């Protein structure tokens, strides 16, 4: 089983490719649908994901798709279950398995992610539905006297327990500790919080006997707070992010798939591109974007069956740009090129 985990992890960070995160919770997808004035019904959600997953050529730049519990049980318009549809294109199906970040008791403004209860059984079910990898997100907030050491430890411990259960079931775990962009902090605060979080995470993964070669890290880039008066530029973000990885991440990890975390589409691509233009060690540096891949497609589609092709062209174009960023060959002028 270890060999299968290693092969799947490597396939998810294959050259020129990254992961499409399509695992939005019901409140999140409702918010996105409101932006295009359509109702978040089960059929509308199915039709939207169908539009994304049937994009011609998507497999050129997308190695895997993270699904939501509802989505992994749905099918394309022709009746093909979504996991089977993705597999037929050479795209690996995955599944979000946490149940969300909740308030950490007695630690104001801090969160801990829940979902460990019953996870072994859910993992077995998801394997039967076609999933080959999983994802669990933890949320770390920067603020006055936070993140606390205990919040970091609680989330690192939960991530490691989840990862062990995922590997036990034969699925590659993507461990996702996200230091949020919220706030007006300087990039140095983000660096410190990220370094502390990743250090604790890999200590816990080791303690739980998680096979690092069959694991991927999904994490934030080292960024200034979104409300900071003087935000760090692209090259500084790339340098600081690569530096923190070098200080905390073991060489055996196959790759890091960054989240976009509130960045614009172009920023997320430019930052990834800059990182791949400098010496970044043994890992593949890739992407696992949700909104930063989907936003143009959602806007172009707008819930109109007659505009499926337009939505798919927008997704293909955004995916191609991020594929270029994987090799450091992205150029902002590519933004205006036809898909």
DSSP 37-59: T----HHHHHHHHHHHHT-TTGG
Residues whose CB is less than 8 angstroms from the CB of residue 118 and which lie 6 or more positions away in sequence, other chains included: none
pLDDT of 145 higher than 80: yes
Cα distance between residue 160 and residue 201, in whole Å: 7
| 12-54 pLDDT tens trace | 999 999 999 999 999 999 999 999 999 999 999 999 999 999 9
Active site residue 176: yes
Which residue is catalytic, options 96, 111, 218, 313? 218
Report the Cα 303 to chain-centroid distance in Å: 24
Give 146's strand partners: 143
For the chain, the average pLDDT equals 97
pLDDT of 66 higher than 70: yes
Question: What's the average model confidence in pLDDT over 141-160?
Answer: 98
pLDDT of 104 higher than 70: yes
- Among residues of the chain, what percentage have pLDDT more than 90? 97
Which residue is catalytic, options 176, 178, 284, 310? 176
* Matching residue, tokens 């499409």: 20
Output the pTM of the full model.
0.97
What confidence score (pLDDT) does residue 40 get?
A: 98
Question: What's the average model confidence in pLDDT over 151-177?
Answer: 98
Q: Are 311 and 301 in contact (CB under 8 A)?
A: yes
Active site residue 89: no
Radius of gyration over every alpha carbon of the chain, rounded to an integer in angstroms: 19
Q: Does domain 2-336 have CATH number 3.30.420.40?
A: no
User: How many other CB atoms are there within 10 angstroms of residue 53's CB atom?
Assistant: 26
């Amino acid at each position: 089983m270890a060999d299968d985990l290693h092969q799947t992890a490597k396939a998810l960070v294959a050259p020129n490719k990254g992961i499409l995160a399509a695992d939005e919770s019901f409140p999140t997808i409702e918010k996105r649908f409101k932006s295009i004035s359509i109702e978040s019904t089960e059929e509308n959600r199915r039709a939207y994901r169908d539009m994304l997953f049937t994009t011609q050529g998507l497999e050129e730049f997308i190695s895997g798709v993270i699904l939501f519990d509802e989505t992994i049980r749905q099918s394309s318009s022709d009746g093909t279950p979504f996991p089977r549809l993705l597999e037929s294109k050479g795209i690996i199906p995955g599944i979000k398995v946490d149940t969300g970040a909740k308030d950490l008791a007695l630690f104001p403004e801090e969160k801990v992610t829940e979902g460990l209860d019953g996870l072994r059984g859910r993992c077995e079910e998801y394997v039967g539905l076609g999933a080959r990898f999983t994802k669990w997100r933890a949320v770390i907030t920067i603020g006055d006297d936070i993140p606390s050491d205990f919040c970091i430890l609680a989330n690192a411990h939960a991530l490691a327990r989840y990862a062990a259960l995922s590997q036990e079931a034969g699925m590659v775990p993507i461990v996702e500790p996200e230091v949020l962009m919220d706030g007006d902090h300087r990039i140095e605060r983000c660096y410190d919080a990220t370094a502390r979080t990743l250090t604790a995470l890999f200590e816990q993964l080791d303690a739980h006997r998680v096979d690092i070669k069959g694991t991927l890290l999904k994490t934030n880039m080292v960024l200034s707070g979104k409300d900071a008066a003087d935000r760090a530029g692209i090259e500084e973000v790339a340098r600081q992010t690569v530096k923190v990885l070098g200080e905390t991440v073991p060489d055996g990890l196959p790759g890091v798939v960054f989240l976009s975390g509130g960045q614009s589409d172009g920023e997320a691509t430019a930052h990834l591109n800059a990182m791949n233009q400098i010496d970044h060690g043994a890992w593949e540096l890739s992407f696992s974007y949700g909104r930063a891949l989907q936003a143009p497609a959602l806007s172009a589609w707008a819930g109109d069956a007659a505009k499926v092709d337009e939505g798919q062209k927008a997704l293909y174009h955004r995916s191609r740009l991020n594929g270029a960023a994987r090799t450091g060959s992205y150029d902002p002028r590519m933004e205006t090129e036809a898909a």
